[in-house]
Amino acid sequence: MSEAALFVVATPIGNLGDMSERAIRVLKDVDIVAAEDTRQTLKLFSHFGIRRKELISYNDHGEEQRARKLVERLVREGLSMALVTDAGTPAISDPGYRLVGEARAAGVKVHPVPGPSALTTLVSVSGLASDRFLFIGFLPTKAQALRSEVASWRGGRASVVFYESPRRLRSTLKVIAEVYPGARLAIGRELTKLHEEIVVSSIEDAMAWADAHESMKGEAVVMVEVPVDSGTPLADVEVKLRLEAQEMFAEGRSLRDVLLVLKDRGLPRQQLYQMLLEVKDDEDYR
């Protein structure tokens, strides 16, 4: 019986010419292919002449329990398996990391088959500081959590890279502009495809670009060059006041009481009032 093995195989993020010879060979040789979306992987098989083999779906739904069962089968039957995602490198902001973790825990050899990644593709062509960068994956969806996350980048001395949906891109850029006015950033969409677009500009110009692209397909990749020295802006003050307001509302304090306590703490009164309304709405929603 052969020794069990897991191959983490990177596939093109758009341009099929980026598929490596080794990746094709591995996909032809393994016993099983675990794919995020089997329909997308079948298209890849067809293009590169990879014969039909056992192709199983592995995605966000019940991935932890499924990962354990898959690895148990690999060990029991001495099988080799390739893990692929729809596009790019698996296990980067992707549930594939659980399968890799289970394989390692079971003593299964894990082999990387490196290749394209939207993350490194944008960083390499941005021209922004890339000697030190932080990858976030996807940002929080709730307004308060998003603002706190963005404000937390200050002091990290690193550029920040994240993925964002076209639907949320404009609102996310607005928050970044409020926290880091004048910051430079890069946005990549349709990377390596026919209609590839890479924008490197100030945050303000990027917002104008987003306004002109009301309908976009696919996820965008964004890289923000966080200003090294930007003092103590209102955004940081607001984050602290939000946390205090949360505690007071949780104690049952009224909006008027909280406003009186925080009114002279460094935030303009109108901005403070609007922020308190948002915090109170969040508390009421819970």
Say if residue 107's pLDDT is above 80. Answer: yes
DSSP code for 215: S
Specify the pLDDT at position 240: 83
Amino acid at 204: E
| Alpha carbons 191 and 117: distance in angstroms, whole number | 10
How far is Cα 107 from Cα 104, in angstroms, rounded to an integer?
A: 5
Q: HSE (CB half, 13 Å, CA atoms) of 18?
A: 20
Alpha carbon distance 282, 261 (integer Å): 20
Task: Give the mean model confidence (pLDDT) for residues 34-54.
Answer: 94
Question: What burial class does residue 260 get, using C-beta atoms within 10 Å of its C-beta: 0-12 exposed, 13-18 middle, 19+ buried?
Answer: exposed
Tell me the pLDDT of the chain averaged across its residues: 90
**Global pTM value:** 0.77
The tokens describing 35, both together, are: 């794919």
| For residue 183, pLDDT beyond 80 | yes
Q: How many CA atoms lie within 13 A of 103 on its CB side?
A: 24
Reported as a single tens digit per residue, the pLDDT across 203-239 is 999 999 998 877 777 889 999 999 865 545 566 778 8
- pLDDT, tens digit, 9 for 90 and up, residues 239-249: 888 898 999 99
CB 83 within 8 A of CB 91: yes
* 76: phi then psi, degrees, rounded to nearest 5: -65, -40
Task: List, in order, residues 6 or more apart from 64 with CB less than 8 Å away.
Answer: 98
Q: CA neighbours within 13 Å on the CB side: how many for 151?
A: 19
- Give the DSSP per-residue string, 16-65: GGG--HHHHHHHHH-SEEEES-HHHHHHHHHHHTPPP-EEEE-SSTTHHH
In whole angstroms, give the CA distance from residue 184 to residue 39.
38
> Can you give the pLDDT at residue 284?
64
Mean pLDDT, to the nearest integer, of 81-103?
93
**Using CA atoms, how far apart are residues 252 and 85, in angstroms rounded to an integer?**
47
Q: What is the pLDDT of residue 266?
A: 66
What the block records as the tokens of 176 is 């970044």
HSE toward the beta carbon, residue 278, CA cutoff 13 A: 17
Give yes or no for residue 41 having a pLDDT over 60: yes
- To the nearest 10 degrees (0 to 180), the angle between helices 234-250 and 143-151 is 140
And the tokens for 222? 């964004």
CA distance 109 to 207: 46
Distance CA 232, CA 179 (A): 10
